[in-house]
Amino acid sequence: MTQSVVILGSGQAGVSVARELRKLNTDIELTIISTDDGGFYAKPTLSNALAAGKAPTQLLLSSADKLAEQLKARILAHTTVTAIDTQAKQIHTSIGPISYSALVLANGAQPIRLPLTGSGAADVLSVNNLDDYAIFRNTLQPGMHVAILGAGLIGCEFANDLRIAEHPVSVFDLAPQPLGRLLPPQAASFFAEKLNTAGVQFHFGTSITNVDSTAEGYALTTTDGQQFKADLVLSAIGLKPATELAAAAGLKTHRGIVVDRHLQTSVADVYALGDCAEVEGLVLPYILPIMNAARALAKTLAGDVTAVSYPAMPVVVKTPACPTVVSPPAIGAGGSWQEEVIEGGVRALYKAADGSLLGCALLGEASKERQSIAAQLPAVL
């Protein structure tokens, strides 16, 4: 019987598994199912497309047809998977059941929504795929004042990108600083100051509770009763791994779909990777973990059972106003931050009691030391 690998999702995770698998095996039947149009784009380009001068349509790198041809795969676009039957080894979709010999869950994550009230709450946008981004760009008119909810990585990247296109930008976050636990205090103030100099207005320690639609745009009310105006509201408070389908099928889920180092879920022949997965307790919604996982899983699917290893995987924050590279210490890692303010930057190193390096945040000029410092970081898994 020919093997049939079914991949749920055509994002970086799903497409990377398919590409890596095709490098190893050209016979296995490959089906990719996606609610979106099945084309491939690099998601990180969504938060610097304005600076790059690109319209949403220019971000598409391969159409579904071209991808299907390159991968020798069947791509079922605009198709939703509604249930997984691990006993029958079948998935149920909006166009009927499909059988698999191995199933790869690469269905990503969903934006977390604040419980907002008000007549404009439903107009609040969030961007987690190319279609969302096209809506955002169609709504965005020159000069519009944009309010961003959330000063995390994605909120700050959008803020910087919008400033490059000369939009007034206000960012709200309940936390006292940007980028949350990625940055220790001095690094955080340096970062906030640089973005502020670029024109980003930060409002820390406060969140938005109500958005009303008005004749001139939107009126926002904060937790502490302040009022702000904006023409467009973008929510970027975080992502939640898509675990519902897996949980409904009886697969073990926790923060994400629980998988071991072989990317295998609690059920045989069902695997998961990418933003939906929790690999040995780690939810790492970034490109490098996906690439490492995809390479290991492709080998396993091709018959050479392989565990994933994660080297140190620093993340570059795409904020040109403050070039930043972060590699947060593992949760619960014993140690402390040591921050050094240098000319035009901050070098923050997270060290264990014995002096070994466990994490870093390199800002401004210090970001140029990325490679020598990253070389001293421990492997993640």
Partner 1 sequence: MAEREFKLWRCLICSYVYDEALGDPEHGLPPGTRWEDVPRSWICPDCDVGKDEFEMVEI
Ligand X SMILES: Cc1cc2nc3c(=O)[nH]c(=O)nc-3n(C[C@H](O)[C@H](O)[C@H](O)COP(=O)(O)OP(=O)(O)OC[C@H]3O[C@@H](n4cnc5c(N)ncnc54)[C@H](O)[C@@H]3O)c2cc1C
* H or E segment and range at residue 76: strand 74-76
Separation between Cα atoms, residue 223 and residue 210, nearest integer Å: 9
Q: Under a CB-based contact definition with an 8 Å cutoff, are residues 17 and 7 in contact?
A: yes
Closest CB to partner 1 among 48 and 210?
Answer: 48
Separation between Cα atoms, residue 127 and residue 235, nearest integer Å: 8
Of 7, 81, 283, 366, which lies in the binding site for ligand X, with binding defined by CB under 6 A? Answer: 81
* H or E segment and range at residue 271: strand 270-272
Distance of CA 152 to the CA centre of its chain: 11
Binding to ligand X by residue 272, rule CB under 6 A?
no
**Mask 52-91, x = binds partner 1 (CB under 8 A)?**
x------x-x--------x---------------------
Closest CB to ligand X among 118 and 259?
Answer: 259
Binding to partner 1 by residue 367, rule CB under 8 A?
yes
Which region, judged by CB under 6 A, interacts with ligand X, from 4-12, 18-26, 216-224, 259-267?
Answer: 4-12
The full DSSP string for 272-340 is: E-GGGEEETTB---SHHHHHHHHHHHHHHHTT-----------EEE--TTS-EEEEPPPTT---EEEEE
* H or E segment and range at residue 234: strand 232-235
Binding to ligand X by residue 374, rule CB under 6 A?
no
Q: How far apart are the first and last CA of the chain?
A: 35
Residues 306-345 that bind partner 1 (CB under 8 A): 316, 318, 323, 325
Which region, judged by CB under 6 A, interacts with ligand X, from 5-13, 250-258, 300-308, 366-374?
Answer: 5-13
Of 3, 4, 25, 45, which lies in the binding site for partner 1, with binding defined by CB under 8 A? Answer: 45
* H or E segment and range at residue 164: helix 153-164
Binding to partner 1 by residue 252, rule CB under 8 A?
no
**Mask 7-26, x = binds ligand X (CB under 6 A)?**
-xxxxxxx------------
Separation between Cα atoms, residue 347 and residue 359, nearest integer Å: 11
Binding to ligand X by residue 274, rule CB under 6 A?
yes
Of 46, 98, 258, 360, which lies in the binding site for ligand X, with binding defined by CB under 6 A? Answer: 46
Residues 278-307 that bind ligand X (CB under 6 A): 285-288, 290
Task: Tell me the backbone φ, ψ of residue 319, rounded to 5 degrees.
Answer: -120, 90
- In angstroms, what is the minimal distance from the CB of 152 to partner 1? 17
Separation between Cα atoms, residue 65 and residue 188, nearest integer Å: 44
Binding to partner 1 by residue 165, rule CB under 8 A?
no
Residues 218-257 that bind ligand X (CB under 6 A): 242, 245
Please report, as ranges, the residues that interact with ligand X according to CB under 6 A: 8-14, 33-36, 43-44, 46-47, 80-81, 106-109, 127-128, 154, 242, 245, 274-275, 285-288, 290, 315, 318
